[in-house]
Chain A
Amino acid sequence: MATSAVLLENLTHHYPGEIHPVLAIDALEIEEGSSVALIGASGAGKSTLLRLLDGRLRGWRGQATVLTHALSPSTAPPRIWRSETGYVFQEFALIESASVKQNVLNGRLGRTHAGLSLIGRFSIADETAAEAAMRDVGITELADRRADRLSGGQRQRVAIARVLAQEPRLILADEPVSNLDPKNSEVILALLRECAAKRGATLILTSHQPRLVAPFVDRFIALDSGKVMFDGVTEDVDEAVLASIYSKASRENHNEAAE
């Protein structure tokens, strides 16, 4: 039996001053090596859940185990745990004035020597990992170009290469393609899936476009007001299921859902 990449129990989280929880998950398990889409309306708790899994959310309650490490709601996880979990940001989050290569090497910061990196020194292993990551996403020839000279699709490739350079066992991608055109979106999703599979890493991505991401994931989890309202394999997600997910959400949050 496969081990679990994510195990959540009785998990709740409130934003300060809010009565309704932003997350309220009784139990959720995500198997290692699987690829999962988190869907749901805006404000359903998708991004909050990803940030929690990335160890960047504080003040939640319950049990959260990521890659067999029990996360603490009050303190940041140790450096080595963090490097095992990679995060792809919707807005790419690159250093605009730095080269592609440096942006990818930044993914090694959690693994490289903390002191030597401050004087710009990275090990052979770091260089090798960065080069492999750039090769996998097809940006080797852009290595010396500044990040602010790239197109949207190229930027997201750099962001993915940065995550791959981390050698993560879990890849979290928050709306990875919402800033890209449909053609680039499919290419980037295929790339994420392929790179995760090649490394045996688990992939969890959030999206507003279930039909777009369906070919690239095995499982769908729909959140509504922080609760799991649907959890099933991709084959079970038909139009009727999607309609129920989004109509319920739109009835309940029709103010927030308008984007």
Chain B
Amino acid sequence: MTVEQSARPHSERLTRERERSWGSFSISIAIAALVIWSWMASDIDLDKLAASGGRIGDFLSRMIPPDLSVLPVVIEASAETLRIAVLGTVGCIFFSIILGLLAAGTLTPRFVNIPVTWLLATIRGIPLILVAMLMVGAVGLGPLPGILAIAFHATGMLAKFYAEAIEGIDPSPVEALESTGATFLQRMRYGVWPQIAPDIVRDTLFRFEMNLRESLILGVVGAGGIGFYIQTYVRAFQYEKVATLTIVVVIFVILIELGNNLIRRFLR
């Protein structure tokens, strides 16, 4: 290799390093500015926080002992939240299969997968609580708007995950099946599905856990489940009931996570 050839990459590397250090400097300044602006503009008074120490203590003490008389109501409402999360997840799986296939760059032409990818990004950008409020307006109070809101909102993420799983497959075994005379559906069933199944199951369980957590709040806007009681008890300052509710929700979320972990271990 001649001196001339090796010298050029060296100077290019220097330039790149210089650009990179300027870049990281600018990013640091921008982040610092954002933090300072957030602090100043929020008008946070630390003295106020220190002075309210006693009030927070009083507030916590009023949660004890938890009022267990509301246990049946809270458990039933948690069960409704679980049902909303389950049916919402079923709905988002359905939409994600369709949109995930359309968004996969290896399956569809660019004029299909690019708009679908944008659509999914837009869906992800709309907060769940906003979707839920619109659904309550559209179909009335109860679990149904909650289910629809979860199904819609979660599709934005799950369809993207499905598309990525499909894009990540090794095409050669699918080609091998094509060579044996397998039909399109047979290639999907025996060539594509076995390759994506572990990812699909993992992503779906992950999204189900997220759906469960997010659906806790749906009742606040009248879309069913435990959220209704969260709002009611907190507004009425019934903190011993809030305590019962918090305990139930925490146990309930942990149980679901344990169940999911068992499924994952079984599938590995």
**Residues of A bordering B, CB below 8 Å:** 54, 56, 79-83, 85-87, 89, 91, 93-98, 102, 106-111, 114, 117-118, 159, 162-163, 166
Contact = CB atoms under 8 A, between A and B. Distances in A.
A255 B236 CA distance: 81
Given A96-B195, A114-B186, 11 more contacts: A56-B175, A80-B181, A86-B180, A87-B176, A97-B198, A106-B182, A108-B180, A109-B180, A117-B186, A159-B176, A163-B180
A-B interface, 6 closest residue pairs, ranked by CB to CB distance from nearest: A110-B181, A82-B181, A109-B182, A93-B176, A83-B181, A93-B172
B173 A95 contact: yes
6 contacts: A82-B181, A96-B173, A117-B189, A159-B176, A163-B180, A166-B181
B19 interface: no
Nearest to B188: A118
B183 A79 contact: yes
A247 B179 CA distance: 34
A118 B177 CA distance: 14
A160 to B, nearest CB: 12
B179 A82 contact: yes
Contacts of B181: 79-83, 109-111, 166
Nearest to B181: A110
Contacts of B194: 95, 97-98
A118 B191 contact: no
A166 B182 CA distance: 11
B190 interface: yes
A118 B186 contact: yes
A93 B175 contact: yes
B76 interface: no
B188 to A, nearest CB: 9
A109 B172 contact: no
B31 interface: no
Contacts of A114: 183, 185-186
Contacts, number: 78
Contacts of A106: 176-177, 180, 182, 190-191
A162 B190 CA distance: 13
Interface string B182-208: 110110011100110110000000000
Contacts of A98: 190, 194
A156 B122 CA distance: 47
Nearest to B186: A109
B185 A118 contact: yes
B17 interface: no
Nearest to A84: B181
B266 to A, nearest CB: 15
A99 to B, nearest CB: 10
Contacts of A54: 179
B264 to A, nearest CB: 15
B190 A95 contact: yes
A106 B177 CA distance: 7
Interface string B206-239: 0000000000000000000000000000000000
Most chain-A CB neighbours within 10 Å: which of B173, B180, B198?
Answer: B180
A111 B178 CA distance: 12
Contacts of A107: 180
Nearest to A147: B173
Contacts of A97: 194-195, 197-198
Given A80-B181, A98-B194, A117-B186, A162 B175 contact: no
B173 A83 contact: no
Nearest to B174: A93
B83 to A, nearest CB: 29
Given A97-B198, A117-B186, A91 B180 contact: no
A87 B179 contact: yes
A85 B180 CA distance: 7
Contacts of B198: 97
A37 B227 CA distance: 72
Nearest to A105: B190
